[in-house]
Structure 1
């Protein structure tokens, strides 16, 4: 019922606008329009739902500690665990959604839906179930490709063109939130070209206010023709009506590579870049120019071999203009490893060219879901830092954020995994004990300031402490 509320509001708004238009005073004149709109939603859903699947995963976590002498109580606990779970571990189940893109059993979903899964079960619309295997997965775009072995040809989704989306168009999200199969919610395209702050991907996302909840991940975002324009991926849990979907054009490109090789190869140059502001352009003798500013060149990288330097301004990549950071990242990532590329640069106000051979971007480190980690009242799990490391970093103390819940007080305030907390309300954090002591005495509901060390630089963050 909650999913119907936004749709009812939208329908009321439609009727109000119709009533305000010329001739809107005649209700009978507007009824056919409302009926047509309603039928468009119904037709879109009926067209897509047969190709939407439920994905159930099982992840096993070992429970046994180090081997060695066991007390009588521990032996009893081990026996009970073995009775409850034959594999001697803890089973965790999770749910997600997916879409059938091949009638022979090819299914697209989110990478995070099947992350670390030991077992994947796909349930079709007719409630038949199949075990699935992972053909390939790409964490940078959060896309995974699965295959099942059905006994018949399966219905497939109809694919749209996400490059033609316009803000304000209707959007229909289909999935299995909280295990409620084939749930439909309605909204609009709120924005395009968004980036996900929780992912290092350079791909752009669709923002929608169609309700996306846990379990919707991997399901389709539809237009009113029933065409898939995106794959639902995430939501902002701290807000309302802010969900994201991966554009279907991006999904198709990744799907092709995963189906071909099981992985995605991306180009890498080995440069650090930043936006070229007007002030920076003028200070580097490039007033009025567009491009990106190189602030770092990694040793033994393609950029270093090609002669790039810090302070260079890249204005073109293989003849195509560089308009900004995201565009340049896309251009480099889309280049095939081993290919030679030409960069047009500005150096001390002079135009010149540099050639480099693109290397392959390292795959991101495997992401192990930290679902069992106990979080403190700030939504953090912190670890101590060895004294030797502290001396090498030239800091006196601190704790490292190993896990940060984005919806927790600290996560909403901007604290990220990998941050080192140095001070809380100007009080030094010398270690874990000091951190816990400071947290325990902070007044509930009050603003706090935190000094963090992030990527070699320090910054202050402020957020409100959790209420008791």
Structure 2
């Protein structure tokens, strides 16, 4: 047998072996998962994940690849006449500004909220933001070919601001490839596609400006967000943030109002993680019941802690797992359920991911001593309940005629108060109100109500509600800073009615 024939036979054997191996791999489903369609448990949608070594694309190729999977979402909310006087929620104000939801009393109106979405499965499952479909009486989806469908809300996560909806298009739909947001690097080029101010399928480009950003509004916590300078505007919410491989790495969610080039996106890995719960209709989170604070070097020094690792307990809500476990204001949590706590964000994440009903150990430092407490985690209350409580509090505040905020370290410095001062800051006083008549001014700090110390807005509203439930007069203990920079304090009696 000559050498040529030997080489030919060896080559044929190698090809045959390769083909047999591919067939076996396919039948055993051992194809590398990054190249396959990932099907999750049960009835979960099949979504496509990116390949490890996908080559970079130019921006035009990215648009061609992803644009067909981006949809325009319009949510219709019928607002009854009797509820038109309600104020926007903190979530609405945070995303759209306080003037976006101006309402006219006396008539029903159909309010429309526009946003974007991302098709993640051929059978019509779409990811978007919770605030895009919140309280919607009808959800309409328009595809890239301008065909419209009514959508059904499958599940929602109000805390993370993620929602899953579905349309029945009676055909296979184009889908986007979901990337790995954990591998995103600051400085990496990205593209945002969405429907800003009704301009369908607008593409903008920028870079990842930062990772792990924490933002928030009252009763709402946003953390671990991707920050980008790609232009994001009203209507982009729910649309994809895409890397140079054409993979979705984030869901565009919010911007900082009245600022340029400050957009934020939910990491796509977060959405993938909660997808099984979204399919069941609702995502539940563990709840501890504290107000956590970062342990800054200044606080650590003043409170005689050896390091800044841990989370300072700023307040403990009554009747919560933290209260029942014996956590106290001023404790520093260093370990939760066997996991090290090095920051407030870490604690947020660990608590949220703890199943309700689970008993856990909490390691704390209290007055220099290490203690271990046991808490039984409950389900986080619905944000609607918190908003209802806020509205009740504001109604009580309205009788007095003032609005307040928590006195943070930043606000204390701004208004000239010593850092150890506790209370709530008066940010607005209504003219001719009982508070104005009593001489309370913007910039004052309310430190006591009926001689009970005030620590935060929530407690302030509760104390105020209790005081007015017993009579029509409230005794305030108030501090202010005079023109010489000195803090002066006084008692003020405010009579309502």
CA spacing shift, 1:278–1:400, aligned 2, 3 Å = closer
Structure 1 residues 61 and 289, CA, compared in 2 at 3 Å: closer, same or farther?
Answer: closer
TM-score (norm 2): 0.63
Q: Quote the residue 2:75 is aligned against.
A: 57
Task: Report what 2:268 is aligned to.
Answer: 248
Whether 1:155 and 2:155 are equivalent positions in the alignment is: no
Q: Which residue of 1 is the match for residue 239 of structure 2?
A: 219
Q: What's the counterpart of residue 61 of structure 2?
A: 43
1:303 — aligned with what? 322
Number of the residue aligned with 1:339: 358
State which structure, 1 or 2, has the greater radius of gyration over its C-alpha atoms. 2
Aligned partner of residue 294 in structure 1, secondary structure: strand
Give 1:422 deviation, angstroms. 4.5
1:98 deviates by 0.2
What secondary structure, in the 3-state scheme, does the structure 2 residue paired with 1:173 have? Answer: strand
Q: Is the counterpart of residue 190 in structure 1 residue 209 in structure 2?
A: yes
What is aligned with 1:398? 402
Match of 1:358 in 2: 377
Q: Distance in 2 between matches of 1:434 and 1:282?
A: 39
1:104 positional shift: 1.2
* Aligned counterparts of 1:273 and 1:204: Cα–Cα separation in 2: 16
Query: In structure 2, do the counterparts of structure 1 residues 434 and 229 end up closer, same or farther at CA, with 3 Å as the change threshold?
Result: same
Change (3 A) 1:459 1:329: farther
The counterpart of 1:278, out of the listed 293, 297, 304, is 297
Deviations 1:403-456 (A, max 9, x none): xxxxxxxxxxxxxxx986445xxxx84439979xxxxxxxxxxxx975577726
Local SS of the residue matching 2:347: helix
How far is the alpha carbon of 1:366 from its aligned partner?
6.6
Matches for 1:45-124 after TM superposition, within 5 Å: 45-63=63-81, 89-124=108-143
Give the 5 Å matches for 1:125-140. 125-140=144-159
Q: Which secondary structure state, in structure 1, belongs to the residue aligned with residue 144 of structure 2?
A: coil
1:116 Cα offset (Å): 2.4
Closer, same or farther: CA 224–337 of 1 in aligned 2, 3 Å: same
Give the match's secondary structure for 2:223: coil
Name the CA distance, whole Å, in 2 between partners of 1:198 and 1:269: 19
C-alpha change, 1:452 and 1:352, in structure 2 (3 Å) is closer
Query: Secondary structure of 1:195's partner?
Result: strand
The alignment's C-alpha RMSD in Å is: 3.4
1:232 aligns with 2:252: yes
1:328 aligns with 2:347: yes
Residue 288 of structure 2: aligned partner? 269
CA pair 350-434 structure 1, distance change in 2 beyond 3 A: closer
Corresponding pairs, count: 351
Q: Distance in 2 between matches of 1:419 and 1:216?
A: 35
Q: Report deviation, 1:112.
A: 1.2
CA contact (8 A) 1:284 1:349 kept: no
Query: Cα distance, 1:399 vs. partner?
Result: 5.3
The answer for unaligned runs of 5 or more in structure 2 is: 1-54, 85-106, 388-393, 406-423, 447-455, 461-477, 482-497
Provide the rounded CA distance (Å) in 1 between the counterparts of 2:395 and 2:358: 42
Please give the per-residue CA displacement for 1:50-88, whole angstroms capped at 9, x wherever unaligned: 11111122222234899xxxxxxxxxxxxxxxxxxxxx8
TM-score normalised by length of structure 1? 0.67
Alignment correspondent of 1:431: 433
Q: 1:421 to 1:217 in 2, by over 3 A?
A: same
Alpha carbons 2:426, 2:442 under 8 Å: kept: no
In the alignment, the residues of structure 1 paired with residue 188 and residue 180 of structure 2 have an alpha-carbon distance, to the nearest angstrom, of 13
SS in 2 for 1:365: helix
Match of 2:309 in 1: 290
Are the equivalent residues in 2 in contact too, given 1:421–1:429 (CA < 8 A)? no
Secondary structure at 1:102's aligned position in 2?
Answer: coil
State the 1:144 CA deviation: 1.0
**Distance change >3 Å, CA 264–CA 432, structure 1 → 2:** farther
Whole-Å separation in 2 of the counterparts to 1:57 and 1:432: 42
Is contact 2:69–2:119 with CA below 8 Å preserved after alignment?
A: yes
Aligned pairs (5 A) from 1:313-324: 313-324=332-343
Residue ranges of structure 1 left out of the alignment (5+ in a row):
1-35, 67-87, 369-381, 391-396, 402-417, 436-447, 462-468
- Contact 2:425/2:444, CA 8 A, preserved across alignment: no
Q: Give distance in 2, aligned partners of 1:224 and 1:130.
A: 31
Q: Secondary structure at the match of 2:348?
A: helix
Q: Is the 8 A contact 2:296 2:308 kept in 1?
A: no
